[in-house]
Amino acid sequence: MTERNPPAATAFHYAGHGPNASTGVAICHGFTGSPLSMLPWAEYLASQGFAVTVPLLPGHGTSWQDLATTRWQDWYEAFEGSYLELAATTETCFVAGLSMGGAVVLRLASIHDVPGVVLVNPGLSFYDRRVKYVGALKYIMRTTEPIVEDDAAPVLTEDGDYSKTPLKAVHELKKLFRSATRGLPHVKAPTLVFKSTVDGVIPPSSVDTIRKHIDATRLKVVTLPHSGHVATLDVDAPTIFEESETFFRQHAHHRVASESS
């Protein structure tokens, strides 16, 4: 039996069908990741009829050397462009993101009138205190070792060579987190957050920051007790898929009802 190579990182787009065809969901992957980590979620939503797009962000899906040449604005603008394309062909278009992707979609939601936001282990802060000095450290150390979780979910896909993490990109990530945090008071959309109990990549302070700025009447936080950081590929993934589907259906209906009244 010939062993198949893992699928390569690339953007994914699904046309909607059935009753949910007019509802879009733009999903953003995380730092050094790719749409492959979002694929099971995207495929689930597509199977329910939603129109789904998952762009591959610049510097991702290839190598850490490519990542080092990009800015946070490049990541944000690539996702925003994908969102706007989907929004132009659907009646309502939600945004969702994992980790760094959570920061990207929060910044977008602070600028665009989205009907709802879904976040999985969203990143707005770091565990490593050395990040405070990364603007200077990047000139001394070109790279650092990537964060590896104990008992991480198996990734059976090919995301490219990210055996090292360029500090220049970490500095860009820090600036993205700062920009997303500053925009939080302008996020008016209902927001659903999934947070793993044990997340070795993003500290709980990120969700604490979201709680401070998004009104409790518009915010729901769901705990994922059995998953690590990339929860979309872990044990609690079905909870993410099913609860986000319910959220999208509910708020798409509310948006259509309010616009027709």
Q: What's the pTM? A: 0.91
Whether residue 261 lies in the annotated active site: no
Low-confidence ranges of the chain (pLDDT < 50): 1-4, 156, 256, 260-261
Residue 7 maps to a domain: no
pLDDT score at 261: 44
Residue 118 maps to a domain: yes
pLDDT score at 133: 52
The Cα angle at residue 58 between residues 194 and 172, in degrees rounded to 5: 70
Residue 122 maps to a domain: yes
Tokens 């790719």 -> residue: 34
Residue 250 maps to a domain: yes
Residue type, 143: T
The Cα angle at residue 191 between residues 237 and 173, in degrees rounded to 5: 80
Whether residue 171 lies in the annotated active site: no
- What CATH number corresponds to the domain at position 150? 3.40.50.1820
pLDDT score at 137: 60
Catalytic residue among 29, 60, 229, 251: 229
Residue 1 maps to a domain: no
CA distance readout (Å), 95 to 22, 139, 165: 15, 35, 27
Range of the domain at 23: 12-260
- Domain total for the chain? 1
**What does the pLDDT look like over 125-152, one tens digit per residue?**
988 777 775 666 676 677 677 776 556 5
Whether residue 229 lies in the annotated active site: yes
Catalytic residue among 199, 206, 234, 244: 199
Catalytic residue among 34, 37, 82, 99: 99
Residue 108 maps to a domain: yes
